[in-house]
Chain A
Amino acid sequence: MNNAREIQDIKGVSTWSAFCATLRRDLVIALKRRNDLLNPIMFFLIVVSLFPLGISPDPVELSRVSAGVVWVSALLASMLSLDNLYRADYEDGSLEQLLLSPQPLYFLVLAKNIAHWLISGLPVVILSPLLAYMLYLPSEAYWTMVLTLLIGTPVLSLFGSIGVALTVGLGSRGLILAVIVLPLATPVLIIGAKAVTDVMVGLPVGSHFALLGAILALALTMAPLASAAALRISVN
């Protein structure tokens, strides 16, 4: 035990405090840059309000597609904000510092992913009932939608992080990030949107939540590992 403490002292900081420091740093940076904070939310709002213009103002039709619309828009909003995850850190060199630190990279990447979710995912979840109301989502489906988004959007951040980590060093990324990440996000989209539509027709949704939870658990354990490996490849 003592020995372990000594090793910790040598390495400077414990993994936990490094985790907290990374999380805090990313949150502070995000709060300083208001635009980055607002853009995903505005994007989400705009995309959702485009759908009635494209489909029809008819409440019956809109309420049928509302679950899918909210979910797809949340997915796209999460996609849009992914670029902030490692890009700025890569450019100013702090990403390299992160890779050199003695703490396991898994936890530091996890901290960055959680920060990203708090910045881009959580506001979308909080805003979703308002948009669901505008899309005439039946009231009994509200809680299901918020809960599925709450479980699902972290998965989007975690999977997206792998894609960003793979492409962070590239000069011209264009749409490659979307091409890589969107197919990986399909299971979450399918299950999340289906849970909401099933509640609307009165079906039980316990299994949907179980599946979403399983995917979240898998993503939490595996995705940061893949992101860490990808970062080590990209930053060289």
Chain B
Amino acid sequence: MPDAKASERDRLADHAAIARLVDGLLPALIAKLSTTRLGELEVREGDWRIRLRRPTAGETKDGRRATDRPSRTQPGHEGHGHQRSAPEASRPPRIALPTGYADATIGSNGSGGAKTTNGAGGGDYEPAQPVATSPAVGVFHPGPRAAAGTRIRAGDTLGSVDVLGVPQEVVAPVDGVVGASLVEGGTAVEYGQDLVQIELAASAEAR
């Protein structure tokens, strides 16, 4: 079935393109957007387009839990198995796909993962704060460079998440200074969970 093969090739090519965008471009874009007062950034590459939009005033802070696993709740009860927050802020950045595809939400790669946790407050933008996230589901062990105040570069190892005895690196998404740890060492964490806050180099220097 040549059709199936061709579409399989297309699909793999698409996956590769998404991986390139997510791993390479997205963290840089987020950092860029964080340090400017721009509301929106768009970059085109080949058939692909990434658009990042900063939550506007009135949209709530990213409400995802930062420290705990979801706790047992009753079905139908207000808090579900996981906390839900304002739809726009709770979602990873949206990537616009080529025509014919649904506008898809692409999760950021764990090792290069970066998220902004600050929405806008009081109608004025504050520099958004990046966070190093968990690359896997397992047990978090902070490393020496995860101590608050440590100056770090994007790509530095801040610790590891132990997956069945195999450590997976927690990587700093941007240059900056280590801020608050959101999870204690030895705690079980899920994929994508916020672990260590990072103060951006620019804003840290300004203080």
Say whether A associates with B.
no
B interface list, Cβ under 8 A from A: none
